[in-house]
Structure 1
Amino acid sequence: MAQVGQTLSFAASLYRQRLSVAWVGYARNDPMALLQLRPGRDDPYRIYERIRLEGPLVPTRLGNWVTTSHTVCDLVLRDRRFGVRPAGATVGDTPTDEVDLSFLDMNPPDHTRLRRLAQPAFSPKQMAGYRPQIEATVDELLDQAGSSFDLVSGLAAPLPIAVITNLLGIPEADAENFARYGTVIGGALDGVQSLSHAARLQKADAELGALFTELFALRRRSRPTTSFLGWWRRKVSRFGRRRCCRCAFCCWSRGSRRRSI
């Protein structure tokens, strides 16, 4: 009964949120709401231009503010007075809080603690060390694509997940499932769209957690590895925690769409 109650509560919150966005978008012509609806999917650039013409910082009918100014974005991202969540907001305020997507959804000090743990793996020196492996992955995808191919489906789309799979040391047998988990979880950053979407998200989240649990156990039994996953396991062990490296995966694969780590 408790599970049924949680499901009903989640459904009510989800559809109340979607109804609110639809009303503000279609009835009140709010550009940020429209970006989440069909007009935004059909032609987002027209809406971007509309927002740009309204000024560097524009209030929306959703209760937040939007800017198209790089200068304003840079100031906000660097100002410690700003966070991902409004001051006083707690986990559970939105439907997507039901699933722990990444520490991009956290305010300091939790975000700071986890960012400090992951940051060394993304240092300039460490990133430079990834270059040969990334170049090899690009060459492999281009060889598979042949002389004529679609740039997005043949290279741009599979490249990030192929690089992440290699750097994390995901076995080839699990690579296809790993890509599927990433697609489902990454899609939730645009919002949970339905109960079936939520079910797929929760299932992918659980299966991804089981995959990393198995891989961590495998790394403990095997010799040290230079993969990112091996590095992360050693860092987690050092700090006495078992924090799933989904956080780092989520930040890397979606950082361009959210504030960066």
Structure 2
Amino acid sequence: MSDRQLAAGIAIGKVVLGWFRLLDDPGAVLIRPSQAIDPYPHYERIRARGKVVPSKLGMLLVSDHELCSAVLRDPAFGVAPNKEIGQPDPGLNGLVNPLEDSFIFRNPPEHGRLRRVVSPLFTPRAMQERQGRVEAIVDEFLDQLAGREEFDLVDEFASRVPIKIICDLLGVPDTAHRRMTAWGTTLAASIDGMGSMAQVRELRSTLRELNDFLAERIKLRRAEPNDDVIGHMLAEGGLTDFELLASSGLLLAAGFETTVNLIGNGVLALLANPSARQRLVDDPSAADNIVEEILRLDPPIQYTARLPLAGAKLAGRDVPAGKVIVLLTAAANRDPAVFPDPHRFDPDRPNAREHLTFSSGVHYCLGAGLARMEGAIALRALFRRFPDLRLSGAVQRRASRAVRGPLHLPVRVTSRQPAAIA
């Protein structure tokens, strides 16, 4: 696909979306950039229309918790690959994109074959063994903030923790941290799709750099075996170079932005709920359930998609093979049939863990345990060090519909009047 064809497709897409926005189509409104600020009122309008809401854009929207969970667990529904397995997107000039080429975009049995190679690295036992290292990394970055009255919590803490942990997993030196952060941010922004040729070019540049970087790491591990993730995958064997690049890159693409936004959204929730924050300060063991409530109330990933692999039924409706079903998991997390008073932040909510933020079924997030551990350790340590943390300016959110979290979160450690949370 040429750049001219890509540009024409992007332009046509914008025109089509513009028309459907005028019609207040739920699918078009869902991906409207302004919804990145606060999508939850829109989800409630979709919920009011029923369990399955059609969009003239050719998709079905689901906000019901029970139905979202059923689809995620049902083998009759698969992920929505946009190309043949192992074939790079022609619009990306043959580059490997971990968000489209890794096992998260494969259906069984290919999904299971690839996932099994890395799953031993994310078992509960593996997480327990890694806990001390995560605590040390969190303390290291908090030590660097000691004596500071103001700082950007995302730039100087929330983004640095997961990148350091991912670099540890990949055996990447500290000198690569800044590049890894930039790559992770660009990959996360691409989840929404390409809105301009400038974004396409930025993604190509990022993937080219990331592909080259990971290829060098794979080459190094072949020459010098190690027990990091790449070394583990090589020792397991059976993966092509394409699959090695995709699986390695997935750790960055999925592990970075999700945890950055978990920490950022968690800080915002706790600053907006002083009693919950005080609960965490008084009882650090409350961190685990607080993290679950953060994941439920304001998840880093807002929705996912599935399609019937053959004709299927959805809430009594016949759905043809290939029909895109958008599962609004962030809306399902606020389903009043499952979560009483769903819009309230409740650190003691007994069933907070029933959220669908990490998906469900065979595609349940492999790194969920690591993300939970990072979030709990980071928030516990942050508010232990800075119990009087306050906002010191306006919060800038990410310009994304699928990914939700603060891009910049200025804070102060004095006891001045807090700023309003947008």
Q: TM-score, normalised by structure 1?
A: 0.82
The one of the two structures with greater contact order (alpha-carbon pairs below 8 A, sep at least 6) is 2
Question: Which residue in the other structure is 2:216 paired with?
Answer: 214
Question: Which residue in the other structure is 1:130 paired with?
Answer: 130
Q: 1:133 to 1:229 in 2, by over 3 A?
A: farther
Q: 1:55 to 1:140 in 2, by over 3 A?
A: farther
Structure 2 Cα separation of the partners of residues 62 and 133 of structure 1: 47
Mean Cα displacement is larger for which, 152-161 or 181-190?
Answer: 152-161
Task: Kindly indicate whether the alpha-carbon contact (under 8 Å) linking 2:137 and 2:164 is maintained by their aligned counterparts in 1.
Answer: yes
Question: Which residue in the other structure is 1:74 paired with?
Answer: 69
1:188-247 Cα shifts (integer Å, max 9, x gaps): 00111211111110111011011111112222333x433223222323xx2152221113
Alpha-carbon RMSD: 2.7
Structure 1 Cα separation of the partners of residues 254 and 154 of structure 2: 21
Q: 1:212 to 1:28 in 2, by over 3 A?
A: same
Task: Kindly indicate whether the alpha-carbon contact (under 8 Å) linking 1:186 and 1:250 is maintained by their aligned counterparts in 2.
Answer: yes
Match of 1:162 among 154, 161, 164: 164
Structure 2 Cα separation of the partners of residues 177 and 90 of structure 1: 29
Count of residue pairs brought into register by the alignment: 248
Match of 1:101 among 98, 101, 116: 98
Question: Which residue in the other structure is 1:140 paired with?
Answer: 140
Question: Which residue in the other structure is 2:16 paired with?
Answer: 20
Structure 2 Cα separation of the partners of residues 216 and 109 of structure 1: 25
Q: Secondary structure at the match of 1:66?
A: strand
Quick check: which one's strand share is greater? Answer: 2
Question: Which residue in the other structure is 1:252 paired with?
Answer: 255
Q: Secondary structure at the match of 2:63?
A: coil
Task: Point out 4+ residue stretches in structure 1 off by more than 6 angstroms.
Answer: none
Q: 1:91 to 1:240 in 2, by over 3 A?
A: closer
Structure 1 Cα separation of the partners of residues 250 and 115 of structure 2: 9
1:28-65 Cα shifts (integer Å, max 9, x gaps): 11233223223312331221221232233322222212
How much has 1:6 moved relative to structure 2? 1.5
How much has 1:152 moved relative to structure 2? 4.0
Q: Secondary structure at the match of 1:225?
A: coil
Q: 1:150 to 1:231 in 2, by over 3 A?
A: same
Structure 1 Cα separation of the partners of residues 198 and 176 of structure 2: 24
Task: Kindly indicate whether the alpha-carbon contact (under 8 Å) linking 1:59 and 1:65 is maintained by their aligned counterparts in 2.
Answer: yes
Task: Kindly indicate whether the alpha-carbon contact (under 8 Å) linking 1:30 and 1:60 is maintained by their aligned counterparts in 2.
Answer: yes
Q: Secondary structure at the match of 1:183?
A: helix
Task: Kindly indicate whether the alpha-carbon contact (under 8 Å) linking 1:184 and 1:200 is maintained by their aligned counterparts in 2.
Answer: yes
Question: Which residue in the other structure is 1:116 paired with?
Answer: 116
Match for 2:121: what amino acid?
Answer: A
Q: 1:7 to 1:140 in 2, by over 3 A?
A: same
Equivalent residues in 2 for 1:220-259, closer than 5 Å: 220-222=222-224, 224-235=225-236, 238-239=237-238, 241-242=240-241, 243-244=244-245, 245-253=248-256, 257=301, 258=304, 259=359
Structure 2 Cα separation of the partners of residues 65 and 184 of structure 1: 28
Match for 1:170: what amino acid?
Answer: V
Q: 1:233 to 1:180 in 2, by over 3 A?
A: farther
Percent of aligned pairs sharing the same letter:
31
How much has 1:254 moved relative to structure 2? 5.8
Mean Cα displacement is larger for which, 141-150 or 65-74?
Answer: 141-150
How much has 1:75 moved relative to structure 2? 0.9
Match of 1:59 among 38, 50, 54: 54
How much has 1:97 moved relative to structure 2? 6.9
Unmatched runs of 5 consecutive residues or more in structure 1 = none
Q: Secondary structure at the match of 1:155?
A: helix
1:83-132 Cα shifts (integer Å, max 9, x gaps): 1228xx6459xxx7734333223333433332232322222222222222
Match of 1:186 among 182, 185, 188: 188
Q: 1:152 to 1:177 in 2, by over 3 A?
A: closer
Quick check: which one's helix share is greater? Answer: 1
Q: 1:117 to 1:18 in 2, by over 3 A?
A: farther
Structure 1 Cα separation of the partners of residues 127 and 115 of structure 2: 16
Unmatched runs of 5 consecutive residues or more in structure 2 = 259-299, 305-358, 360-364, 367-422
Q: Secondary structure at the match of 1:212?
A: helix
1:129-163 Cα shifts (integer Å, max 9, x gaps): 22222111111122223364454444333322222
Structure 2 Cα separation of the partners of residues 119 and 234 of structure 1: 14
Q: Secondary structure at the match of 2:2?
A: helix
